[in-house]
Structure 1
Amino acid sequence: MRMHEGGSEKISVCARRANAHTRAEMRTRACSQPRRLCVLASWAALLACARADNACPPACACSQDSGTVSCHAGGASGVPTRVPAWTSTLILRGRNVTTLQRGAFTAPNGSALDEAATLSLSGNLIRAVESDAFAGLPHLHLLDLSHNQLERVSDGAFKGLRELRTLCLNESIVPEAAGQLAAALGAGDLRDLHRLELAGNRLRSPPLTPASLDAFQLLHQLVLVNNSIRSLGREDVGGLERQRRTRVYLARNPFRCACELEALYWWLKNASQCPDAALLRCAEPEARRGLQVEQLRPEDVDCLNENLEAVSYVFLGIVLALIGLVFLMVLYLNRGGIKRWLNNIREACRDQMEVYHYRYEQDSDPRLANVAV
């Protein structure tokens, strides 16, 4: 009985221990269940955020395979606030952006589009570009701002685009903003630029000064087609000569083929940096309208000959003026003798006319003729 009682006590102790262990496991499972739910909820939230970040913006067409997001005119306007992080090519057209504000392409959470390499903003009626407008595009290679109406370009408009290779600004700059564009280009952030397109902007001179042009060591193509450039000065030509790898396109500009074109004329003759040199035509003066700049004679743009001709015409005018002055002085000093001479001539003419009148009267009377017979 004692043994049995001892065994039963041992069994009851083991049972109590087993029950306690079971209750502990149940408490552990009960405590671990909310943790699992929290982990699952966090993963679900992350997946939801990822799906939200990768969602296609309204009124846009997205292709993740090619990395292209294309947003055209539609129900939405302006720059999309959420662009997928995988975007490599972003195209916005007809969105009526008007102003590119600071950080226009930065996500609301402050993240940048690290994959974006191409940005096309053609035909959006953009009038102003503020500083740091492209701050969220650190690896952008191509920026197209063509066919807009830029009236204000901040000095830091292209700040942060250190990897930009191609900048297109065709038919987008009003003449009053040409100086602002020159300051923005010369800010020093586009040192790796290879191609700059500025066609159809009515520019009267290149926007790159000789000093700023020296900073573009990698610039291969400068497109200045269809502007209002009449000539290039010696400083501009000198800057282009130092950048021998740069090819400059100048067709369809109204060149004045006179003395001021001398530097450009000899640059075209001696260098091969203008691939469309055969298309350069004279617009002024009228006698040379339509002639090729390359076919001009050296004396047509020789400033020395032109200056000599101007000096010779001035000298001829001075000589003629002196001769006229001397003639007037002679007339003035001999006014008395000239007056007498004129009176004598008048009297002689009067006497002669009276004689002719007397003879006429005699010849016309028939009675005098009978008496003579």
Structure 2
Amino acid sequence: MHLLWVWTVLSAAYTVLTEGCPVGCKCNHPTQVFCMSRKNPSFPRTIPPSTISLYLFENGISSVEESSFSGLWDLQLLDLSHNNLSNLPGGVFKTLTNLLNLDLSSNQITEISAETFQGLSRLERLYLNENQIRSIHPDAFRGLENLLELKLTKNQLVVHPAFSLPHLLLLDLSYNAIPVVRPEIFHARNIESLRLAGLGLKEVPSDLLNELKNLHELDLSDNHLTKVPSGLRGLTKLNLAGNMEISQLQPDDFSGLSRLQDLDLSRMSLRTLPKGLFQFTPRLYGVSLAQNPFNCVCLLSWLTEWLRVSGAALHRSDETRCHFPPKNAGKILRNLQNSDFGCPIPTTVFVPTTLALTSTAAPPTSTNPRTTYTPIDTTTTIAPNNPTEEPAVPTQYDQLCPPQTCLNGGFCRLDPLGEVKCECPLGFYGMYCEMLSADFSEPPEMELQVLEKTSSSLKVDLQSYIQSKNDLPGLRLTVQNLSGLDNRPDTYQLPSTLPHYTLKGLNSNSTYRICLGSMRDISGETELCSEAQTMGESPTPSAHITQTKEGSLTLVLVPAVAAGILLLVVIVSAICYTRRRREKAQSCENAGPLELEGVKTGLVEKGELKKLSESPSGTERGWESEEPLMDSSRVGNNNETPTGRLPHSYF
């Protein structure tokens, strides 16, 4: 009897818990309803009045009405994301007076009216990202004084919405078309996280940042900024990634960011970073420098040491690689040693007391050491014998620029501070002469350079072509043998990160036409072509020595046979000449094939020579000895293998 009573109570409780759960939904808890992926355009009915959290995402719902939420007085979370909502009637949510979180992201909403969010006085989080919102009424957010987060990412806004939200902590306006952000429209001075990525901003007003005293996170990625905004204060996270117009940074750009912990400088146009750039950010524990065209010369060598000493994490280190010079191109920057940057080795140079002094003081009586920098494998010049001459003391950075640092024929040098300076030819400008002046519509004609030549290979320079192009998907290298019978071109697909490429398995003493172009350019209009000749291959000195016994016998018989034939020709000629004079008739008509007429019309003709070459007899095969004997171990054409052409090396 007791068990029956318990069973009755449990059954009644289960009935209460599951009563009113919509079809296709799951009500695991009396306060939570999950209606996921129902693919039903109608709003679900019979939602339990005790529901606190209602999840209706991916249901295909196309419209909602005020009656849809009737009786849901306790509702605090409403998720209507990933549906087909395009219009929100005014006051549709006004009965949800206790609602704290409203997610309307990933719908097709185009407009926010003044009455859309009427009655949501307790709302804290409003997500409207990834819609098609073009306009927002100035009074749309009136009454939402408790709002903490507002997300409007990826809409079609062209004007910044106006609002007065005193407690707002997060504002996300990213990836709209708002080219100008005005400080006066912000009435939310307590914002901690401001996201303005992908708006097309060319500058950020310093007044805007000065007003936001509580700002900790600032996202300005994927804009058109030309420099780091001024007035940055108190930030812990700064994102400047994707601002391709920024090619240089100044040492004091982050001077006001003593609390900065995370910095993103990826996908910019940075070729170098000034030493001391992070001296004002002692708390920096993570930095991203990926996808920048770094020039890994001595000027940048301080970075790897700073990463080691500071302990800061280099995010996406595999994507942080060198672009110049060619010897470091493609290498991971963090893995480079100080010597890899081409830095000079510090040495001590002793300057004798005979050096001329500019002051009137008496010269010292001892030799004073002076520390300077000299290039590797370069001897230091000691003081001259004549004390009146200027002493030859090495400069602090007396080293040559890495090869191909300057583009378009520019001349490279290092200034006294060790910084790279390019003297550009007429018509070009920029740090590396990479920019074309407006007065010159076309750059000077480039030539495809062949760096090394051997009898079977050609090393082709790719770096010059890569530097002159932007966004290369890949390279197309075409090779055509102009000296052989087969003039069909061969095409190779190469990555656009190689400084050079070696063509192997070529024929010796042959002229090749080499063309380099982009994989995207099918027409070949932007191809860079050149002709180069492989070196001739000299015979191996030991070729005649390392023959078999049969080959050696042939070498001995060839001169003897040739001499015998020549003697026989002379004798036959004499006999015929004598018969002609005596008989004055056709006494030589029956002469053998080795008589005078036969020799003249037989051996001299190509046909007879060919027969002699093809004859299996050892004597007649002696004519082949005029050509150098080939070593039996050699391969006639090393450009072919049983499976096709020999693989080519990238290096």
Is contact 1:246–1:273 with CA below 8 Å preserved after alignment? yes
Structure with higher strand content = 2
Matched with 1:166 is: 193
* Cα distance change of structure 1 residues 311 and 208 upon mapping to structure 2, 3 Å threshold: closer
* Cα distance change of structure 1 residues 79 and 270 upon mapping to structure 2, 3 Å threshold: farther
Matched with 1:284 is: 324
Q: 1:287 aligns to what SS in structure 2?
A: helix
Q: Letter of the aligned partner of 1:256 in structure 2?
A: N
Is contact 2:285–2:311 with CA below 8 Å preserved after alignment? no
Matched with 1:118 is: 149
* Cα distance change of structure 1 residues 150 and 140 upon mapping to structure 2, 3 Å threshold: same
Distance in 1 (CA, whole Å) between partners of 2:250 and 2:190 is: 19
Matched with 2:174 is: 146
* Cα distance change of structure 1 residues 261 and 100 upon mapping to structure 2, 3 Å threshold: farther
Distance in 2 (CA, whole Å) between partners of 1:206 and 1:136 is: 38
Q: Letter of the aligned partner of 1:90 in structure 2?
A: L
Give the structure with higher Rg (CA): 1
Is contact 1:230–1:253 with CA below 8 Å preserved after alignment? yes
Q: Letter of the aligned partner of 2:265 in structure 1?
A: L
Verify: 1:76 aligned to 2:110, yes or no: yes
Distance in 2 (CA, whole Å) between partners of 1:156 and 1:301 is: 51
Matched with 1:59 is: 88
Q: Letter of the aligned partner of 1:234 in structure 2?
A: K
Is contact 1:95–1:124 with CA below 8 Å preserved after alignment? yes
* Cα distance change of structure 1 residues 277 and 58 upon mapping to structure 2, 3 Å threshold: closer
The Cα of 1:123 is off from its aligned counterpart by 0.6
TM-score (norm 1): 0.51
Is contact 1:59–1:74 with CA below 8 Å preserved after alignment? no
Q: 2:164 aligns to what SS in structure 1?
A: coil
Matched with 1:21 is: none
Residues 297-343 of structure 1 show CA distances to partners (whole Å, capped at 9, x for unaligned) of 2241648769422499999xxxxxxxxxxxxxxxxxxxxxxxxxxxx
Distance in 2 (CA, whole Å) between partners of 1:230 and 1:100 is: 42
Distance in 1 (CA, whole Å) between partners of 2:187 and 2:401 is: 55
Is contact 1:90–1:120 with CA below 8 Å preserved after alignment? yes
Q: 2:279 aligns to what SS in structure 1?
A: helix
Distance in 2 (CA, whole Å) between partners of 1:201 and 1:79 is: 34
Distance in 2 (CA, whole Å) between partners of 1:209 and 1:85 is: 47
* Cα distance change of structure 1 residues 184 and 286 upon mapping to structure 2, 3 Å threshold: farther
Distance in 2 (CA, whole Å) between partners of 1:186 and 1:224 is: 20
Root-mean-square deviation (Å): 4.5
* Cα distance change of structure 1 residues 274 and 213 upon mapping to structure 2, 3 Å threshold: farther
* Cα distance change of structure 1 residues 308 and 192 upon mapping to structure 2, 3 Å threshold: same
* Cα distance change of structure 1 residues 211 and 201 upon mapping to structure 2, 3 Å threshold: closer
Larger RCO (alpha carbons 8 Å, 6+ apart): 1
Q: 2:168 aligns to what SS in structure 1?
A: coil
Q: Letter of the aligned partner of 2:108 in structure 1?
A: G
Alignment of 1:1-373 (within 5 A): 58-59=87-88, 65-70=99-104, 72-74=106-108, 76-77=110-111, 82-83=116-117, 84-97=120-133, 106-107=141-142, 111=143, 113-127=144-158, 129=160, 135-155=163-183, 159-170=186-197, 172-174=198-200, 177-178=201-202, 180-181=203-204, 183=206, 186-193=209-216, 194-202=236-244, 204=246, 210=252, 214=256, 216=257, 218-234=259-275, 236-240=277-281, 243-245=282-284, 247-276=286-315, 278-279=317-318, 280-299=320-339, 300=341, 302=343, 307-310=397-400
* Cα distance change of structure 1 residues 187 and 277 upon mapping to structure 2, 3 Å threshold: same
Distance in 2 (CA, whole Å) between partners of 1:212 and 1:79 is: 41
Matched with 1:4 is: none
The Cα of 1:79 is off from its aligned counterpart by 6.9
Matched with 1:20 is: none
Is contact 1:167–1:196 with CA below 8 Å preserved after alignment? no
Distance in 2 (CA, whole Å) between partners of 1:212 and 1:81 is: 44
Which ranges of structure 2 fall in alignment gaps of 5 or more residues? 1-72, 74-79, 81-85, 217-235, 345-372, 376-395, 403-410, 414-651
Q: Letter of the aligned partner of 1:296 in structure 2?
A: L
Distance in 1 (CA, whole Å) between partners of 2:237 and 2:295 is: 27
* Cα distance change of structure 1 residues 79 and 210 upon mapping to structure 2, 3 Å threshold: farther
Distance in 2 (CA, whole Å) between partners of 1:155 and 1:273 is: 34
The Cα of 1:197 is off from its aligned counterpart by 3.7
Structure with higher helix content = 1
Q: 1:266 aligns to what SS in structure 2?
A: helix
* Cα distance change of structure 1 residues 85 and 210 upon mapping to structure 2, 3 Å threshold: farther
Distance in 2 (CA, whole Å) between partners of 1:87 and 1:232 is: 46
Distance in 1 (CA, whole Å) between partners of 2:338 and 2:250 is: 28
Distance in 1 (CA, whole Å) between partners of 2:206 and 2:307 is: 28
Is contact 2:105–2:128 with CA below 8 Å preserved after alignment? yes
Q: Letter of the aligned partner of 1:227 in structure 2?
A: M
Distance in 1 (CA, whole Å) between partners of 2:240 and 2:290 is: 12
Is contact 1:85–1:115 with CA below 8 Å preserved after alignment? yes
Residues 164-221 of structure 1 show CA distances to partners (whole Å, capped at 9, x for unaligned) of 3333344x143xx34x13736643515441434444443526999846652x555433
TM-score (norm 2): 0.32
Is contact 1:72–1:94 with CA below 8 Å preserved after alignment? yes
Aligned residue pair count: 246
Distance in 1 (CA, whole Å) between partners of 2:187 and 2:259 is: 17
Q: 1:237 aligns to what SS in structure 2?
A: coil
Q: 2:167 aligns to what SS in structure 1?
A: coil
